[in-house]
A = this chain, B = another copy of it.
Amino acid sequence: MAVSPLAPASFHVLPVIDGVRFAAIAAGVRYKNRTDVMLAELAAGSTVAGVFTTSATRSAAVLDCQAKNGGAKGGKAAFLVNSGNSNAFTGKGGAASVAAIADAVAATMGNDASRVFTSSTGVIGEPMPHERITAKLGELKDALRADAIDAAAKAIMTTDTFPKGAAAEVRVGGKTVKIAGIAKGSGMIAPDMATMLVYIFTDAVIGHAALQELLGEITDRTFNCITVDNDTSTSDTLLMAATGASGVDVTGDAAFAAGLEKVMLDLALQVVRDGEGATKFVEVQVSGAADNKDARKVGLAIANSPLVKTAIAGQDANWGRIVMAVGKSGARADRDLLSIRFGDITVARDGFRAPEYSEEETSAYMKQQELVIGVDLGIGPGFATVWTCDLTHGYIDINADYRS
């Protein structure tokens, strides 16, 4: 599989986060000749918080994480993630597999199973061969290293064409706090939340309630504003651990929140940049909506429209399809107040094609790899930004032949 043309030039160099160690291994869950399990060991006292898919058919691992989120504090914690099998729609056996993995991790690491958070990603509905994972836990423990987060990022990939990482360093009260995150995801990506796994680590001090609230707020502006194919996974999981090793309390700190948002947005956009078959990266900027909620509706209607996405793939400045998407979004709109631009080129305003519209100029713009679609509804103060990619033959190739 060729690396996405929209990929960053290289993997971000991620800082070591004091209090976290990583290991990855090839357990043969499904794939051959690659790592497919990662373990993150979190120092005693680490705060853990998470955001999860809203799917009614969410996986056993997600249900288990939700039950544990905000629960017991204290001892060491661990994240254990496998690729190759999502353990979703695997009935009671799926829940037993999660329990078996969590218990085995707890026994190996010497902590409580209530502090072991697991995720699984890959094919849905196949029985989970959890014994292949538990058989490797001793080796994983022995391999734990503070500087192995990049190996963890690789082990959780499925149809991803590149590993995803992002980091920030924030000054709080004269001291430095570090944040580092990894993610996987490239298909089955849609808000609520974007279909992906995300793990973020910081050495800051922060309590569960404050961290949980912060994650929820920022998720709404980042992972919930990206879409590849409008399909929502059964396994979406974002887990964040704050080890407290820096000794710096960041509760309510704006700089920390901004740093975290930078990391989360960076990871979210990397997922879009790895959208299955993507050749164009598209930012949809919506303004002038009745409110922010309406603006997001319009942005997602545009970003999810197969007709808009195929036009972008074809480098066609087909703004009529943008009008269609605005119309179907369910948001308040008035044709005669609507204006549309591609980059800085206004193509339509006042309910009509812009008099200065130049097909040649606009077509030249559409040949760029990174595009901005701007829509102003002219009604109110609401705005939103949504990110997506185009819909290409590559998407069909990947998804018409995923299981085999």
Contacts and interface: CB of A to CB of B under 8 A. Distances in A.
Interface string A320-342: 11011111110111111010000
B125 A307 contact: no
A403 B319 CA distance: 11
A159 to B, nearest CB: 11
A7 interface: no
Given A314-B400, A396-B396, A324 B91 contact: no
Interface residues of A, number: 70
Question: Which has the most chain B C-beta neighbours within 10 Å: A91, A233, A310, A311?
Answer: A310
A198 B56 CA distance: 37
Contacts of A233: 324
Interface in A227-245: 229-234
A131 interface: no
Contact of A321 (B124, B307, B396): B124
Contacts of A333: 56-57
Contact of A320 (B56, B89, B232, B319): B89
A399 interface: yes
A225 B305 CA distance: 19
A306 interface: yes
Contact of A350 (B86, B91, B311, B335): B91
Nearest to A298: B56
Nearest to A397: B393
A123 B226 CA distance: 28
Contact of A56 (B58, B188, B326): B326
Interface string A35-61: 000000000000000000101111000
Contacts of A231: 305-307, 321, 324-325, 328
A57 B350 CA distance: 12
Question: Which has the most chain B C-beta neighbours within 10 Å: A93, A329, A400?
Answer: A400
Given A56-B333, A393-B396, A396-B313, A318 B352 contact: no
A187 to B, nearest CB: 7
Nearest to A349: B91
Interface in A119-138: 123-127
A229 to B, nearest CB: 4
A113 interface: no
Nearest to A277: B396
Contact of A92 (B58, B348, B351, B401): B351
A158 interface: no
B353 A316 contact: no
A57 B338 contact: yes
A335 B402 contact: no
B314 A89 contact: no
A7 B310 CA distance: 24
Given A307-B399, A316-B402, A320-B89, A190 B328 contact: yes
11 contacts: A53-B327, A56-B331, A56-B333, A88-B323, A124-B324, A187-B307, A188-B307, A231-B328, A232-B327, A311-B402, A314-B399
Interface of A: 53, 55-58, 86, 88-93, 123-127, 187-188, 190, 192, 229-234, 304-307, 310-311, 313-314, 316, 318-321, 323-329, 331-336, 338, 348, 350-353, 391-393, 395-396, 399-404
